[in-house]
């Protein structure tokens, strides 16, 4: 057969994979084509809708720059990112839960001494973060790396601030011999995902708000352990119950304790009210230990 109807076309596309020498790629593409065609058939997609989709995807691609990833934002707002993360990092594995990386990660933040203020000159209420990085067996992990980033106290990432070309509210901190970390930054607030592009138009059409609850991002890694890309969410923040990217995890919600102006945990004098927050992260060993019966 060399001509296809609306049913046989799917098998015809899949049959072209017969010569593919990568079985995993062939499996992924077979499933993708099946579901994509099922979708088109299920809704009887019109040609005008198809063209709207082509234009939308083109626009999403064109909106991507070296500092903005609109396809990640699309994946985030359709719940695909958190689905992939949840499948690959089951909560029962005992490590800190993973959540979305989001579109604002910037590789190569400076490594700073423990106790540094990551948010020098950044708007927002001061917050002092501390805690430990541990293996899932409870052993403290020395020299673990926390790659930290957040928006400012008004919800703006450095990349979004007109005229700001450098890194702000970003830094990398290592744990000490007892697995402890501490640093200063700000208390993050809720903010909208970027709404001036095609994904923003989609959210308005869906009728959904674009806000994320206040959170700080971290990628935590340690020798011999699986890295974790995660957040700490601010307890009590607005939108914890309707995160625009579905990334909220109860286990990552932490209290930001308010203190009056005065001496901070590290002894320095802070002349505005400030917050303290503490959280221990657990990481899974990279190679599972052999079970007893092996």
Q: What does the alpha-carbon distance between residue 282 and residue 290 come to, in Å, rounded to a whole number?
A: 20
Q: What does the alpha-carbon distance between residue 92 and residue 155 come to, in Å, rounded to a whole number?
A: 32
Considering only residues 95 to 114 of the shown chain, the ones binding its own copies according to CB under 8 A are: none
Considering only residues 185 to 244 of the shown chain, the ones binding its own copies according to CB under 8 A are: 205-208, 240-243
241 or 292: CB nearest its own copies? 241
Region binding its own copies by CB under 8 A among candidate stretches 19-27, 107-115, 187-195, 264-272:
19-27
Question: Is residue 39 involved in binding its own copies (CB under 8 A)?
Answer: yes
Which of 23, 47, 143, 272 lies at the binding interface for its own copies (CB under 8 A)? 47
Q: What does the alpha-carbon distance between residue 15 and residue 38 come to, in Å, rounded to a whole number?
A: 17
Q: What does the alpha-carbon distance between residue 164 and residue 152 come to, in Å, rounded to a whole number?
A: 13
207 or 267: CB nearest its own copies? 207
- Supply the DSSP string of 11-44, one letter for each residue: HHHHHGGGG-S-HHHHHHHHHHHHHHHHHHHHHT
Rg (CA), the chain: 23
Which of 35, 139, 238, 258 lies at the binding interface for its own copies (CB under 8 A)? 35
Question: Is residue 167 involved in binding its own copies (CB under 8 A)?
Answer: no
199, 77 contact by CB (below 8 A): yes
Which of 58, 120, 143, 255 lies at the binding interface for its own copies (CB under 8 A)? 58
Q: What does the alpha-carbon distance between residue 41 and residue 237 come to, in Å, rounded to a whole number?
A: 42
86 or 116: CB nearest its own copies? 86
92 or 178: CB nearest its own copies? 92
Q: How far is the CB of 67 from its own copies (least distance, A)?
A: 13
Which of 249, 254, 256, 270 lies at the binding interface for its own copies (CB under 8 A)? 249
282, 136 contact by CB (below 8 A): yes
């Amino acid at each position: 057969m060399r001509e296809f109807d609306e049913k046989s076309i799917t098998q015809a596309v899949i049959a072209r994979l017969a010569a593919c020498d990568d079985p995993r790629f062939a499996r992924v593409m077979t499933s993708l084509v099946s579901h994509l065609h099922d979708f088109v058939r299920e809704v009887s997609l019109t040609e005008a809708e198809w063209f709207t989709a082509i234009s939308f995807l083109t626009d999403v691609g064109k909106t991507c720059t070296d500092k903005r990833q609109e396809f990640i934002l699309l994946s985030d707002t359709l719940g695909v990112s958190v689905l992939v993360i949840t499948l690959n990092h089951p909560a029962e594995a005992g490590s800190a839960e993973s959540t979305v990386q989001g579109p604002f990660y910037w590789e190569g933040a400076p490594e700073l001494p423990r106790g540094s203020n990551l948010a020098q000159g950044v708007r927002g209420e001061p917050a002092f973060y501390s805690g430990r990085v541990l293996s899932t067996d409870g052993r403290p992990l020395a020299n673990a790396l926390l790659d930290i980033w957040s928006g400012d106290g008004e919800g703006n990432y450095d990349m979004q601030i007109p005229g700001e070309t450098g890194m702000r509210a970003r830094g990398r901190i290592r744990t000490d011999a007892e697995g402890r970390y501490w640093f200063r930054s700000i208390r993050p607030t809720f903010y909208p995902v970027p709404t001036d592009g095609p994904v923003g138009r989609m959210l308005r059409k869906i009728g959904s708000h674009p806000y994320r609850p206040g959170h700080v991002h971290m990628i935590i890694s340690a020798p011999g352990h699986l890295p974790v890309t995660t957040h700490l969410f601010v307890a009590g923040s607005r939108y914890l119950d309707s995160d625009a990217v579905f990334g909220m995890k109860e286990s990552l919600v932490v209290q930001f304790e308010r203190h009056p102006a005065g001496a901070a945990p590290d002894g320095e004098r802070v002349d505005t009210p400030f917050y303290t927050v503490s959280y221990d992260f657990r990481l899974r060993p990279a190679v599972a230990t052999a079970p007893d019966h092996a």
